[in-house]
Amino acid sequence: MARGTSQLAKEIPLKLVVMGKRGVGKTALIKKLVEGEFIEVYNPTTEDRYSARRTLGVQAYAVEITDTGSEDTYGDGTIRDSEGFLLVYDVCDRSSLEEIRALYEEIRKAKVPVMEGSLTSTLPSSESPSVVVVGNKINRLDKHRITTGEGIEVSKDLNCGFGETTAKGSVEHVFYDVIRRCELSSSCNDIGDPSGTREEEGMNDWLCGFGGLFSKSAG
């Protein structure tokens, strides 16, 4: 069947969580993704959710993004029920990078069993959670305190993806990366493409007209 006439696969629900120290710009990143513009002044959130239906290649997704907000009010249930995670730090705040390891440990404890046969885990013990470490506010060149290399080193230590961005520019690539990792992970039981062809196609689809495809959940 020709690529252009391929039928869409059954829609798969996918939950993402954006975590990080207060003030690193979590909400700004999500709002840039959702609304397509940089929101400089907004009220800090406690917890909020955004949803969208999106197609990558031949696979359709119903995506829900949880913004954990400024008060870290989320619980283990939010982590256990989600498939992908963005851990955000501010490249101008060294303490925010130091907090990434603790956040990853929270995810690991909720998603990976402490001992074989744990009934509280949603991942096999041999598998890492689908996580991308994100350095934010890279536009503030005169205030950088963390190098790209330092961010990469932390992400490698944790076996996570890595990206840098700013809500004043393009943010799509870091969200695409975590979804790609979910595709390759059995934490999303029905996600995957044995042929390996969807990644390139999905990236093109994801970057095309992306800004208007997300919307805030009702309620």
- For the segment 20-50, what is each residue's pLDDT rounded down to a tens digit? 999 999 999 988 887 778 877 666 666 788 8
Question: What distance in Å separates the CA atoms of residue 165 and residue 133, rounded to the nearest whole number?
Answer: 11
Tell me, what's the pLDDT at 39? 77
Per the CB < 8 A criterion, the answer to whether 128 and 187 are in contact is no
Domains and CATH numbers, the chain: 6-216 (3.40.50.300)
CB-neighbour burial class of residue 75 (10 A; exposed 0-12, middle 13-18, buried 19+): exposed
Q: What is the pTM of this model?
A: 0.78
Q: In which region does residue 196 sit, left (phi positive, over 0), alpha (psi from -120 to 50) or beta (all else)?
A: left
- The Cα 167–Cα 31 span in angstroms is 8
Confidence at residue 105, expressed as pLDDT on a 0 to 100 scale: 94
Burial of 156 (0-12, 13-18, 19+ CB in 10 A): exposed
| DSSP line for 56-77 | ETTEEEEEEEEE-TTTT---HH
Tokens of 138: 């890279």
The SS3 call for residue 104 is helix
Tokens, residue 147? 């190098």
In Å, how far from its chain's centre is CA 63? 11
Q: Within 13 Å, how many C-alpha atoms sit on residue 3's CB side?
A: 7
Segments of the chain with pLDDT less than 50: 1-2, 5, 114-117, 187, 190, 192-215, 218-219
Place of tokens 């400089």: 40
What is the per-residue pLDDT for 65? 92
Q: What is the pLDDT of residue 114?
A: 44
Residue the block writes with tokens 């239906």? 53
Q: How many CB atoms lie within 10 A of CB 21?
A: 21
pLDDT of residue 38: 85
* 54-78: pLDDT as tens digits: 667 787 778 899 999 766 556 778 8
